[in-house]
Structure 1
Amino acid sequence: MDPMDPTPPSAAHPRFNVFGRIVEVRREGALWQAYRVGADGKRTPAGFVIPDFVAEDELAQFLEDLFHESASPHNGDVHRMA
């Protein structure tokens, strides 16, 4: 998959608002790949690793645990986007 692919996300590629930053997570083979999504919709590698044993329904909690120091009064949570 090309990280610059402008194809809109699907349920197979969940997006999360991580304390104000948009992260798209894709399962590529046995591995998770994370991409930051810019305001223009372009994706770039996020630069962090999600262990392969993390289940899809655990992704939001994992991202919250990983980036909890980025929380602020205005961006205080992690949630899955539509």
Structure 2
Amino acid sequence: MNEFRFRVFGKLVAVTGRPGARRAFYLGPEGKRRPADFIVPKDIADADLAEYLGDLFHEDATPRYDSVERLD
């Protein structure tokens, strides 16, 4: 199972699975995860996840957190 982690305008988000069968989670500071309140459409490719998350959450941008970063 693939897992991609992102810092989305300051929030830690993980997206697991493969296209068509993805689940999204918010990551807590202690390593806990809770189900996210959004879905990732089945036609979003792995390479396009950061752009999709940026489009979805652009209203959460602040001067301090103004981007979506993929974390390794």
- When normalised by structure 2's length, the TM-score is 0.93
**Match for 1:31: what amino acid?**
A
The answer to which structure has the higher strand fraction is: 2
- State the partner residue of 1:60: 50
Gaps of 5+ in 1: 1-9
Are residue 34 (structure 1) and residue 44 (structure 2) matched? no
- How many residues align? The count is 72
Match for 1:70 among 52, 55, 60? 60
**In structure 1, the residue corresponding to 2:3 is in which secondary structure?**
coil
Whether the aligned pair in 1 keeps the contact of 2:5 and 2:12 (CA below 8 Å) is yes
- State the partner residue of 2:5: 15
RMSD: 1.6
Query: Using the alignment, how far apart are the partners of 2:70 and 2:51 within structure 1?
Result: 10
Gaps of 5+ in 2: none
- Which of the pair has more CA radius of gyration? 1
Query: Using the alignment, how far apart are the partners of 1:35 and 1:14 within structure 2?
Result: 10
- State the partner residue of 2:35: 45
